Structure 1
Amino acid sequence: MPYIEWRGNKCRIKWWSGEYLANGRKKYESKSGFDDEETAYTYGLDREYEVRHGTRMATSRSDLLMDEYGSEVWLPDQDLRPGSVKRYRSILKAQINKQWDRRRVNEIETPEYIAWKNALHQKVERKELARTYVDDILMVFGMLMTDAVQRYRLRTDTPIPPPTPRRGRFVKKVRKKKRPLAMGPVYQLAVNAYTVWGFTGWTYIWDAAFQGMRPGEMFGLQKVYAAPAWPTSEPDREQRKEFQERYARMPATRVQFQHQWVDGKKTLTAPKYDSHRTLVQAPFLTAMHTALAASHTSPWSFPSINGGTLLGASFGRDYWWPIRDGAPAREGLRGLPRPAIPPVEEFAVGGWPIYRLRHWMKECLEEEGHSDTAIETRMGHELAGVKGLYSNLTLKMEQNIVEAQQERWEGFLPGSRRPVDATVSHSSPSRPDDGLIFPGRSPGRRGCQVSVRFTAPGAAPRVVARERSTAACSRFGQHVVASTGWRAQSGHTYLLAAGSRAVTGIEATGAVRASAAGRTLAVRAPANARAQVSARLTGGGTLAEVGRAAED
């Protein structure tokens, strides 16, 4: 029972707090300032009622301020991924603490919360804040108040009123309008990326557009998890055997990590939502990755301009913004002159992030009629409900994606039946097939002639192999393999080889000995080295290379 003590002309009430001291004695709480004993005694009875019914809020906790509670008590107790911790801390510092920092947790009332919420929505209407950002602010504040009541007993109830349907003015959620996007603008991005970042940038844009990886996943992509090295280079022995059985003849990239800052250190963490997955590659993209892997010694598939990690670079300022928005010509900045870069209107208007390429990949897959299972698995999502429980990504689904993406690429190339769907400004390279070998057939005056062209970055295309009256000229001769020597900007020389669709592996003998699964081969070789190249076909046969033309 509570008891009363008089102190001067005021009385004080004391009651048991429901807790015990370290010596086993009961711990009491008190309140002073009452003018009469009846009021004080009633107050003490109410406090003991709260103790008995589990609704008591400790006096020692009632003085906790919002900035201390959010940053020092609540956030460290959350089981979150590094990216979420960083975002929540930013919201606490920039918005919640700015509004409520010196207020006690148990002092915030419902009218104050509603006024703050309305002020945030007004900022959205004035386009000072994004609606998604305001939704995140209110979500974090809601979690703070819910845990203050249920977990930490800092309040008896939450100041956030329960949602009531059909109350208040209806406000339609406005989404950023996406402009229709085709291959032309994406190609212009790739051309701009080549100017900014070299062949790494060229490959990066096409990889983002056709693989749909998240930026952090691309930052953390290592050569051992990308074609042509993977799946042979898979570190896990059990998974390696499984992957080799499935992807031996269908090159793919393994999304195993993303690169993030964790406590101020660059760290490889699991992909978002633990969405480890395998992304099959169209042959044209495998050819790019093969040439890219041979062009540098970094363990990362996409090193930065100075050879380091992309995570440590200012990706927006130094990479994406000039690629998207264009940039004027510059002369000799640190010995690196650069021509003018044209803007890509479809991305520059509205300031779209590079994430738009991931959305575009999904749009293309839907247009091509692929199943929800194939699309969402490639995106790194899970289908909800029974549909997700019974679905499974099959090998046929992956093959369909490879064929569709290769067809889309070949349909865009100059000389195909489908016209290029946008005007492209060229600074470098000069054609969409730069750095790759594309076998093709052309009629000659005396019968058929098979010729193969190669276009190096920044150079004019040249014929590297030519042969007349070969079996490939017949209606059944649909298989071609060819090779050429190439000197990279680094000064290293390479033997490059590529084959048509039915090629499953390439082998070089003679002065250069090497082999590779898939349609492409890139290997360091001495200058002017003579090698004989042959290919393995889908049906199990072999194919000799088309005769080399005299090199310039």
Structure 2
Amino acid sequence: MAHAEKRTYDKRARKWRYRGRYKLPNGRWGSVSRDDNGQPFYTERAAEDYAHGLEVDVRRKQFINPRDGRITVGEWAEKWLSSIDVGPLSEKEYRLRLRNQILPEWGSVAVGDLSPTAIAAWEKQLRRRISKNYADGVMSVFRTMLDDAVTEKIRSDNPVATRKSGRRGKYKPKPKDEKVIATPRQVLLIARNGLQMYGLNEYALVLTSAYTGLRIGELAGVHRSQLELSDSGRGARIRAEQQSQYVDGEFTEIPAKYDSGRGLIIPPFLAALLKQLLDSRPTSEWVFTAPKGGRLLRSGDWYSGPWRFMVEGRPERPAKPRVGYRPGVRPVLGVQGLVPHGLRHSHKVWLDEDGHPRVAVEERMGHALQGVEGTYSHTTLPMELKIAETLQSRWEQSLKPVLDWREFGPVPLPDPPVAN
């Protein structure tokens, strides 16, 4: 039965300290000398009552040993990282978020001492100095890590508030969808900019992403053997079975995101374009390559350089020794801020606008329908052929110039010379 014991005399407080004794789930005696707020017990009654509460938790199988909560956030983070099963890039990103944001602030704090109010104040400061998306990612890692701490009974609750929690604060309306969506005509203009600046590979990459909905990483991992460009009645197809990523300094092929490897029907124009691309480099193992023929890598430099130029234009460069002349490229109007992943979003919008069955659309996107609909709905060959037909129609319509609307903006001016 729970009881209290006199321990030491606190000279500063001029009081005796007590500890509570209670039976652990394994039958042994446990002890506790501080309450939930970290304050010592200065009365026998306080220590006994707290120990009695812990024994009640043991009987109800809700017991969390206070000593387990003394593990620091840094120590728990190392154990947690070794237990999760995620892709190499996801694990790398988790480690970066922990190392750069979470551990400098909380690494030495005991998990049991984490306060919801303190974390909320820190999150408020965090969102003032980093972008919203990055802050969301940091808090997501922190929340998930402490969810697992709750599961391991290191503490009883998660102090990191969920986005749907009813925490007090000023009302913030749900932000509107700001995802930039491109029309087939705008995609064609972006691809033509890529053709002019970087060649056939960029032209085909943009169009293939837009007309298949495949991610750039998935396209980078497509081998020549994964193309079926001859139509034998089932349509030409591209198989996306893996994605190519740059992990720990070398190229690695990992399974497609969410294990969504799939074969996709493609419209006739795209099959012809991909055949032209393969014929231009018959010895290449991969369909899409780097500018000099090596493995395709799409890093931050490509997003901030070539991709941005294809969308937003690029000023001309006057002729210089050993550099030469570089013509300017005009921006495509109406898609400012479009990111490469926006091509995938655009593809989904096109399929929805054309009224294709939801099961066929979601399967093409690599998603799984949930519930009864996912159990009883199935994609058929006529559904796939209809998708290829409407995509071909959109392509043919995109070849027609829009005479009553400006498609291009002016060529950007070069940056002024820097004064010495």
Measured against the shorter chain, the TM-score band is: 0.7 to 0.9
- Corresponding position: 1:363 with 2:349: yes
Query: 1:75-123 CA distances to partner (integer Å, 9 max, x unpaired)?
Result: 32222233432343343334433543332211122332443455567x4
| 1:118-137 alignment runs, 5 A limit | 123=128, 129-130=131-132, 132-137=133-138
In structure 2, give the amino acid aligned to 1:323. Answer: M
Q: 1:250 deviation in Å?
A: 1.9
1:392-407 superposed matches below 5 A: 392-407=378-393
Query: In the alignment, is the contact (CA less than 8 A) between 1:227 and 1:289 conserved in 2?
Result: no
**Alignment of 1:159 onto 2:146:** no
Give distance in 1, aligned partners of 2:321 and 2:245: 30
Q: 1:285 aligns with which of 254, 270, 273?
A: 270
Determine if contact 1:184/1:420 at 8 Å carries over to the other structure: no
Matched with 2:377 is: 391
Bigger shift: 9-18 or 334-343?
Answer: 9-18
The Cα shift of 1:302 comes to 0.8
Seen in structure 2, the aligned counterparts of structure 1 residues 5 and 329 have a Cα distance that, compared at 3 Å, is same
Return 253-262 or 3-12, whichever deviates more. 3-12
Conserved 8 A contact 2:149-2:155: yes
The letter of the residue matching 1:254 is R
- Mark the CA change 1:41 to 1:411 in structure 2 (over 3 Å): closer, same or farther: closer
Distance 1:385 1:12, change over 3 A: closer
The separation in 2 between residues aligned to 1:172 and 1:334, in whole angstroms, is 55
Determine which structure has greater relative contact order: mean sequence separation of CA pairs < 8 Å that are 6+ residues apart, divided by chain length. 2
Report what 2:253 is aligned to.
Answer: 268
What are the Cα deviations for residues 490-518 of structure 1, in whole angstroms up to 9, with x where unaligned? xxxxxxxxxxxxxxxxxxxxxxxxxxxxx
Q: Is the 8 A contact 2:5 2:21 kept in 1?
A: no
Aligned-residue sequence identity (percent) comes to 30
Q: Distance in 1 between matches of 2:107 and 2:403?
A: 60
- Which residue of structure 2 aligns with residue 204 of structure 1? 205
1:293: how far off? 0.6
1:69 matched residue in structure 2: 76
**Alpha carbons 1:200, 1:292 under 8 Å: kept:** yes
The answer on whether the counterparts of 2:260 and 2:366 sit within 8 Å (CA) in structure 1 is yes
What SS does the aligned partner of 1:302 have? coil
Question: Are positions 1:344 and 2:329 aligned together?
Answer: no
Whether 1:192 and 2:205 are equivalent positions in the alignment is no
Distance in 2 separating the partners of 1:292 and 1:34: 77
Q: Does structure 2 conserve the Cα–Cα contact (< 8 Å) formed by 1:195 and 1:338?
A: no
SS for the counterpart of 2:252 is strand
Q: CA distance change for structure 1 residues 141 and 374 in 2, over 3 Å: closer, same or farther?
A: same
Spell out the pairing of 1:82-97 with structure 2 (5 A cutoff).
Answer: 82-97=88-103
| TM-score for both structures, normalised by structure 2 | 0.79
- In structure 2, relative to structure 1, the CA distance for the partners of 1:187 and 1:40 (3 Å cut) is closer
CA distance in 1, matches of 2:363, 2:115: 45
CA distance in 1, matches of 2:321, 2:215: 31
The code of the aligned residue for 2:371 comes to: G
- Over 3 Å counting, the alpha-carbon distance change for 1:140 and 1:156 in structure 2 is same
Shift of 1:303: 0.4
- Measured at CA, do residues 390 and 55 of structure 1 come closer, stay the same or move farther in structure 2, by a change above 3 Å? closer
- Tell me how far apart the structure 2 counterparts of residues 199 and 426 of structure 1 sit (CA, whole Å): 24
Aligned residues: 396
**Alignment partners' CA distance in 2, 1:374 and 1:421:** 34
The whole-number CA distance in structure 1 between the counterparts of 2:41 and 2:365 is: 65
* Aligned CA-pair RMSD: 3.8
Distance verdict in 2 for CA 1:37–1:282, change over 3 Å:
closer
- AA partner of residue 131 (structure 2): L
Moved more, 85-94 or 102-111: 85-94
Q: Deviations over 1:299-356 (max 9, x none)?
A: 1111011222222653213431222222233457976853222222323x2x220112
Quote the residue 2:108 is aligned against. 102
Partner of 2:235: 250
* Higher Cα Rg, which structure: 1
Distance 1:59 1:309 in 2: 53
In the TM superposition, 1:149-548 aligns within 5 A as 149-151=150-152, 153-159=153-159, 169-177=170-178, 181-228=182-229, 250-296=235-281, 297-311=283-297, 314-330=301-317, 331=319, 338-347=326-335, 349=336, 351-413=337-399, 423=407
Residue pair 2:54, 2:63 contacting (<8 A) in 1 also? yes
Question: Using a 3 Å threshold, how does the CA distance of structure 1 residues 17 and 129 change in structure 2: closer, same or farther?
Answer: farther
SS at match of 1:279: strand
In the other structure, the counterpart of 1:78 is 84
CA contact (8 A) 2:25 2:58 kept: no
Distance 2:372 2:108 in 1: 49
What is the CA-CA distance between 1:380 and the residue it aligns to? 1.5
Of stretches 352-361 and 79-88 in structure 1, the one that deviates more from structure 2 is 79-88
How far off is 1:389 after superposition?
1.9
Residue equivalent to 1:511: none
Partner-residue secondary structure (3-state), 2:244:
strand
Gaps of 5+ in 1: 230-245, 428-552
| Contact kept? 2:332, 2:409, Cα under 8 Å | no
More strand as a share of residues: 1
Q: Is the 8 A contact 1:82 1:261 kept in 2?
A: no
Mapped partners of 2:309, 2:348: distance in 1: 25
1:119-138 deviations in Å (ceiling 9; x for gaps): 567x4xxx9633x5544444
- Provide, for residues 397-417 of structure 1, a one-character-per-residue CA deviation record: whole Å limited to 9, x for no partner: 122222222222233436x9x
| Residues 334 and 395 of structure 1: CA distance in aligned 2, closer, same or farther (over 3 Å) | farther
* Equivalent residues of 1:227, 1:290 under 8 A apart: no
User: Structure 1 counterpart of 2:147, which letter?
Assistant: T
3-state SS of paired residue (2:24): strand
